[in-house]
Amino acid sequence: MEPHIIATTPFDGQRPGTSGLRKKVKIFQQPGYLENFVQAIFDTQPELKGGILVVGGDGRYFNREAIQTILRMAAANGVSRILVGRGGIFSTPAVSCVIRKYKTQGGIVLSASHNPGGPDEDFGIKFNAANGGPAPESVTDAIHARTRTIDRYLTLDVPAIDLDEIGSFQLGDAQIEVMDPVADYADLMESLFDFNAIHQLFNSGLFRMRFDAMHAVTGPYAIEILENRLGAEPETVMNGEPKEDFGGGHPDPNLVHAAELVELTTGPEGLDFGAASDGDGDRNMILGKDVFVTPSDSLAILAANAHLTPGYRSGIRGIARSMPTSQAANRVADLMGIECFETPTGWKFFGNLLDDGRITLCGEESFGTGSDHLREKDGLWAVLFWLNLLAVRQQSVAEILQDHWRRFGRNFYTRHDYEGVDLAAAEALMDHLRLLLPGLPGKEIGGMRVSYADDFAYTDPIDGSVSEHQGIRIGFENGARIVYRLSGTGTSGATLRVYLESFEADPARHDQDTQEAMQPLILIAREFAQIEARTGRQEPDVVT
């Protein structure tokens, strides 16, 4: 079957961000828009011709239509075998799992992660490399460069494939395999964690939990693993049916958007454990009774306790954290005598460290945690890790937190997001801060002396690549830190993120409310950056 060659012209703005190309659905629905980006992948990744490709997404609006387009184009471009999840579903961690298990040449993930879904909301696409992780900058730069010169794309004129029936289908010269999207991932989880111990925890009658799938992709995975394999009571998984618009909600597992779950873990009758994941299944939120575990603390606690789980019983080789993530993981690494790397935001920066065996665990403050089992952050993996610790240690979430702080000290941590800020105003704010950086070391701000101030740059220790302008850091002699960064995950305006951290060694002060403990630093950060004057915002939109 001969491919159809369709003439096209470039679209502006197809540069992938930290997690691929994200735009409003209506932009992706423009004739040729999705096709141009997909063809740019095939044109720059020659190993896909004659190779195996994984395709799937989080089930959001436009997911099915986009997959049919990609299947036709993949076949037209000479891909020999395409693995697609039933119903077009694959969580982002599951895509990484399948790429690695079946040794494919890559995968195309359709998701805008934690962003809302629906006809007027967001859609996204990214390419994952043969190691299972997000494509490195060298690849995304090549894809972007091709989108600027593209003049044609290849496709087939064939009927749509039935995505709801597991089986093999022929599409031109390509074999399409519609597969169970859950099984391989669930088997991997069972090899890493003590399912018997977790099963006993569920059967003890002394433990109650809920997992909020937020009407997103993790629902089928959580139902299969938590309820079917581990024996959690029916309806342990809330909002477990994936919906194109995520049930009208915002599939971001934080204290604001998962308010129902937070309420269930609060008060005298609160649940013992609560957890949630996001739109594509790579983020997690961990709650105990009347307690929220920050992602920074979660990474540090998992690292300190990894030896209690089967998959990490022999210990960990190293840890990596994104630059805005708190330094709690550094304290664990120092005590264990292992390396701790500080990278830019974006999971792709962990890939080289994982592939080279320099690290075992990694995480970001934006509710992402993972390990060398995959090359993506993994929401349900983190939940199972916590369940394994709870089963083995026979302590509550709060007790595990308190024990950890007594041993390592507490890094108070919070993030303030100013969403939908005028882009020019946000960039001007950052430019102004950059001008101030050289004169800050040694100066006092709000009664605290600055020890360093920079615009974070990262040199990859494996391949030597350099990533600059990754966020502004201001560190103080007392261990406190302020970070300013513009996020690359939104689709309109700019999101200014302000990260604040202070260290407390005294256990008698570990129970302070985070926002109260951080209030002096919060005021310093707002006033120093002139946030209200430059953006018009008196308060952040989201506080985590």
Sign of CA dihedral 272, 278, 280, 286: negative
Q: Which two tokens stand for residue 503?
A: 């260290």
Q: In the chain, what is the straight-line distance between the N-terminal and C-terminal CA atoms, in Å?
A: 54
Buried b (16+ CB within 10 A) or exposed e, 304-326: bbbebbebbeeebbbbbbbbbbb
Backbone angles phi, psi at 210, to 5 degrees: -140, 145
Q: Which two tokens stand for residue 306?
A: 């990894």
Q: Which two tokens stand for residue 292?
A: 């929220």
Whether 492 is catalytic: no
For residue 459, how many other CB atoms are within 10 A of its CB? 10
Query: What CA–CA distance (Å, rounded) separates 90 from 423?
Result: 33
Which residues, including other chains, have CB under 8 Å from residue 102's CB and lie 6 or more apart? 52, 54, 83
Place of tokens 């597969």: 179
Query: What CA–CA distance (Å, rounded) separates 286 from 308?
Result: 19
- Can you state the percent helix, strand and coil of the chain, rounding each to 5? 35, 25, 40
Q: Which two tokens stand for residue 370?
A: 């993972």
Query: What CA–CA distance (Å, rounded) separates 360 from 371?
Result: 5
Q: What is the 3-state secondary structure (H, E, C) of 242-270?
A: CCCCHHHCCCCCCCCCCHHHHHHCCCCCC
Distances (CA, A) of 442 to 318, 445, 473: 32, 10, 14
Residues 298 and 285: beta-carbon distance below 8 Å: no
Give bridge partners of residue 413 from the DSSP assignment: 501
Place of tokens 């996204």: 124
Q: Which two tokens stand for residue 456?
A: 């974070």
Residues 214 and 242: beta-carbon distance below 8 Å: no
Q: Is 459 helix (H, G, I), strand (E, B) or coil?
A: strand
Give bridge partners of residue 90 from the DSSP assignment: none
Give bridge partners of residue 482 from the DSSP assignment: 474, 500
Backbone angles phi, psi at 203, to 5 degrees: -85, -5
For residue 112, how many other CB atoms are within 10 A of its CB? 30
Q: What radius of gyration do the chain's Cα atoms show? A: 23
The catalytic position among 91, 96, 111, 113 is 113
Residue in 363, 343, 358, 342 with CA at minimum distance from that of residue 282 = 363
- Where in the sequence numbering do the catalytic residues fall? 113
